[in-house]
Structure 1
């Protein structure tokens, strides 16, 4: 699926997803990824059950720095609930979590990034 909206210069954009990979700002990434406003990095998480404070430590640090206020979590093919303890941990760093399926998270990220919002996406590959 092509997901290319107009996004401010220098911001990451999720161009496509599926077959276990993502294309973000022209670069192919195999497996799950963390998409920050200015970079995309590989992410070791393969299921929503593996989400933890440790797996989202980089997001927490970006929240502390004021770079991210909202984290979209692409839980895979279906949305799953996020444990209250993990929500509270990220909230203490100024980051609100919104879980959804990976496709919805990718599309929503692009819309919010185009609006210039302080958003990141943690996307489990599908």
Structure 2
């Protein structure tokens, strides 16, 4: 499924998702990914239960700060705990959890609007 919008040059864009991976700015990634405006990283969690603040440390500690984190929970949306959301908020990050497809599409829209957004996406088949 192609979800490519017009994105400012040099920014990461999610071109496709599914089949256990993603294509981001022309590069194929197998497994889950952490996408920030300037770079994409492999991300260890394969399921919602594996997501921790530590797994998000590359984003939390990034030089380029983001304000919104879109969490792609896999095939269905799940709600992270209040403590988890509060901890991210203490770092200046608002968390929006949804299924991975919705998170990928929303990331591209917000990136096209030049918002300070990142996405943590669990791969789906």
Normalized against structure 2, the TM-score is what? Answer: 0.96
Displacement of 1:43: 0.2
- The answer for unaligned runs of 5 or more in structure 2 is none
Which residue number in structure 2 is paired with residue 16 of structure 1?
16
Check if 1:49 corresponds to 2:33.
Answer: no
Displacement of 1:26: 0.2
Cα RMSD between the aligned structures?
Answer: 0.9
Displacement of 1:106: 0.1
Match of 1:74 among 65, 72, 80: 72
How many angstroms apart in 1 are the aligned matches of 2:79 and 2:118?
Answer: 18
How many angstroms apart in 1 are the aligned matches of 2:18 and 2:2?
Answer: 11
- C-alpha deviations, 1:48-81, integer Å up to 9, x for none? 111111111112113xx46200000000000001
- Checking the alignment, whether the CA contact within 8 Å between 1:87 and 1:96 is kept in structure 2 is yes
SS state of the match for residue 114, structure 2? coil
How many angstroms apart in 2 are the aligned matches of 1:13 and 1:102?
Answer: 15
- C-alpha deviations, 1:94-121, integer Å up to 9, x for none? 0000000000000000000000000000
Which residue number in structure 2 is paired with residue 115 of structure 1?
113
SS state of the match for residue 116, structure 1? coil
- The answer for unaligned runs of 5 or more in structure 1 is none
How many angstroms apart in 2 are the aligned matches of 1:51 and 1:32?
Answer: 11
How many angstroms apart in 2 are the aligned matches of 1:58 and 1:110?
Answer: 20
Q: How many residues align?
A: 124
